[in-house]
Amino acid sequence: MGEQGPDGGRKTAKATKKAAPAKRVTAREGAVKKKAEKSIKKQAPAKKPAVAPKKAAAAVKGVAAAKTVAPSAPRGESRTALVRRARRINRELAEVFPYAHPELDFENPFQLVVATVLSAQTTDLRVNQTTPGLFAKYPTPEDLAAADPEEVEEILRPTGFFRAKTKSVIGLSKALAEDFGGEVPGRLEDLVKLPGVGRKTAFVVLGNAFGRPGITVDTHFQRLVRRWQWTAETDPDKIEAAVGALFPKSDWTDLSHHVIWHGRRICHARKPACGACPIAPLCPAYGEGETDPEKAEKLLKYEKGGFPGQRLNPPQAYLDAGGKPAPPLGAAG
């Protein structure tokens, strides 16, 4: 409120005169700011990047994924929505990999448990190229239990860490021969007592040799379920529990195959083939890898890229789908 009377009017006028220069300064500053803003706009790119590298595209509001793919936004995802999205991903992968199977060659539970132990820190392909010679010489647990460690080491050398692996496979063979009558047990609590056998190996054996559901949490499985934001856990046992809670128990074994196959063929660790991914619209990490379809297609591995698989003796369904068997150890190509 202003003062009344003639003096008040003069004071107001003087105040107005004093304030005038400040207004002119503000106007000049505003003009400078507007000019600077125009300059910045001219230098800024016309469009935002299609994807946010190193981060899930869906987690950045207002940034659309390239190639019109619309990733989900799990940051505000409810438990029900997570379950639905996870199960839909599994259904989609089941259509892409209807022939998914364990990628270790085996003819019986004993061969499978040994091959799975040998697969640590190497590829299934190298294990499959090595085990024919091992099982030809030591076909039963009793045979391998009585083997000369140095001879076994020489056979297992191509798999890496061959001394430790020799100790494990001879040790588990002795345990099978002495404690289980030469037969591989079909219970989790018995399997994990065998030397070199953890929960991951046990579930591989239970699911694929005995038909008992289990989740195989290998490096591919861990990587993908975290990329898909099914869980933020890093401990394998906690990942197993968290993911298992999203699916019926009857789905666990096939789910493991689908996820692992997708990780080996398309969703690679260093350079995912996002542009060739069949579940891109459901993936919050879309854009971490190559999004151009033609470039992404060149990143595909095994049968998806037109190359041999990892098994020397794959199931017929895999061959019928166009898959090629792997070459034996020492073969060209």
Give the active site residues. Answer: 200, 218
Which letter does DSSP use for residue 90 in this model?
A: H
Q: What is the 3-state secondary structure (H, E, C) of 198-255?
A: CHHHHHHHHHHHCCCCCCCCCHHHHHHHHHCCCCCCCCHHHHHHHHHCCCCHHHHHHH
CA gap 233, 243 in Å, rounded: 10
Q: What is the number of other CB atoms lying within 10 angstroms of the CB of residue 101?
A: 16
CA gap 52, 73 in Å, rounded: 14
Q: Are 164 and 170 in contact (CB under 8 A)?
A: no
Collect all residues with Cβ–Cβ distance below 8 Å to 241 and sequence separation of at least 6. none
Could you tell me the sign of the dihedral formed by the alpha carbons of 172, 310, 131, 149, in that order?
A: negative
Q: Are 266 and 276 in contact (CB under 8 A)?
A: yes
Angle at 312 between CA 320 and CA 132, to 5 degrees: 150
- Reported as type and span, the H/E element at residue 261 is helix 252-265
Place of tokens 């076994």: 152
Read off the tokens for 117: 């132990």
Which letter does DSSP use for residue 297 in this model?
A: H
Residues present in the chain in total:
333
- Measured CA to CA in angstroms, residue 41 lies from 35, 36, 37 at distances of 10, 9, 6
Read off the tokens for 107: 């003819």
